[in-house]
Amino acid sequence: MERLTGTSATGGVLERYRDRLPVTDDTPMLSLGEGGTPLVSSRRLIERIGCKDLYFKLEMCNPTSSFKDRGMVLAVAKAAEANAQAVLCASTGNTSASAAAYAAHSGLDAFVLVPHGRIAGGKLAQAVAHGARVLAVRGNFDDALAIARRVSEKHPVFSLVNSVNPHRIEGQKTAAFEIVDDLGEAPDLLFIPVGNAGNITAYWRGFVEYYQAERASRKPRLIGWQAAGAAPIVRGEPVDDPQTVATAIRIGNPASWESAVAARDESGGEINAVTDDEILDAYHLLAEEEGIFCEPASAACVAGLLKYAARPEALEGPESLRDQTIVCVITGHGLKDPETALATETEATEVDADLAAVESAMGLS
Ligand code: F0G
């Protein structure tokens, strides 16, 4: 009887984009069902933006609820292929959750370095649940990444699976392929949050490759967004003590800085900053008006879109958004960061287990 692998139905990105990835006959075809994420049409926000089409690429629908799975499946498969004993990463949370899951899936050990006290509870829970060895570094993400790089240099049996690992970027570029495959063309504009700057690098690579392969007749302008308190690329210099409610992008010295600037410039795009208040406003708007509950870092690109759409040139003239197709990349799920949701939303109203009490609380009596 034919053995069902459990991954054949969805394929996963290694299977689906094998021809465009460094997959060999010796690469284990790992998959937790990553990729193939929905491209959802905006129903309400689009009215505020005034563009032709607005879509959300729901990368929070990946197996560990963030976009990291696309690159991690390849990085872990290549680590297994190279007989690594363990994978190692520094992370603001999502990379560690993904590394832990794929390491568990492939039978490798995982060691993750996270900034002490600065990672959202859901992400820590994921790393712990998958059996990763979690080291809470008394420092920020940039400190943790510098140490992780040195550990893997000194001890090569630990495969570093941060986005400085080229396989991460290769796997992540598949999200750009999917957008073109779904739309039948590249969008005009892609709005994306920027932290360590690997993802904007990966999207650009994906869009360029598909353009060169004539799968798309154009390339989008990439419009990246950092948090104002953690905006080294916008400021043009590293930030020693980055601060933002969007802990996923609380990064002062991005590893992929140069390639992000190249992606920005080659695409004719921009990298700008949004404040924490703007991020939280967009976070609530997405949840309340679109039904999309993402984490604060993901909302940064929607905050950016609202800011961009308010510019005079976005309203009228040749740069107007009226004829533009826009995609926002929703990178991670809101459930990863319940602390932020509960700190800022109106909490539950406690009532007696009684019809009249419930009616009264609902304003029905
Ligand atoms: N959105 C989310 C939810 C993230 O977790 C990250 C990065 C980004 C956006 C920014 O992407 O780094 O490629 O520019 N998270 C990393 C981590 C740093 O460790 O999980 P980037």
Ligand 1 lining (C-beta closer than 6 Å): 66, 68, 91-95, 163, 193-199, 248-249, 295, 297-298, 331-332
pLDDT digits (tens, 9 = 90+) for 265-294: 999 999 999 999 999 999 999 999 999 999
Instruction: Evaluate whether 201 touches 263 at the Cβ level (below 8 Å).
Output: yes
The mean per-residue pLDDT over the stretch 22-45 comes to 97
Of ligand 1's listed atoms, the one at least distance from the Cα of 294 is 3
Name the 3-class secondary structure at 97.
Answer: helix
**Statement: residue 359 has pLDDT above 90:** yes
Amino acid type, 163 = S
pLDDT for residue 150: 97
Q: Whose structure tokens read 């959750």?
A: 97
Q: What is the mean pLDDT of residues 160-168?
A: 96
List beta partners, residue 133. Answer: 111
Query: Which of ligand 1's atoms lies nearest the C-alpha of 89?
Result: 19
What's the Cα-to-Cα distance from 337 to each of 21, 119, 263, rounded to whole Å?
Answer: 32, 9, 29
Looking at the DSSP bridge assignments, the partners of residue 271 are: 224
Per residue in 98-146, pLDDT tens? 999 999 999 999 999 999 999 999 999 999 999 999 999 999 999 999 9
Confidence label for 345 from pLDDT (cuts 50, 70 and 90): low
Residues 6+ apart with CB under 8 A from 331: 59, 60, 66, 67, 94, 192, 193, 199, 248, 294, 295, 297, 298
Q: Which atom of ligand 1 is nearest to the CA of 297?
A: 1
Per-residue model confidence (pLDDT) at position 295: 98
Ligand 1 atom closest to the CA of 192, numbered from 1: 9
pTM assigned to the model: 0.95
Q: Stretch 289-318: mean pLDDT, rounded?
A: 95
Residue nearest to atom 3 of ligand 1 (CA): 332
The residue behind tokens 């690992």 is 165
| pLDDT higher than threshold 90 for residue 238 | yes
Least confident residue range of 1-10, 138-147, 151-160: 1-10
Q: What is the mean pLDDT of the chain?
A: 95
The values of phi and psi at residue 115, to 5°, are -70, 125
Distance 111 CA to ligand 1 centre (A): 18
Whole-number pLDDT of residue 1? 39
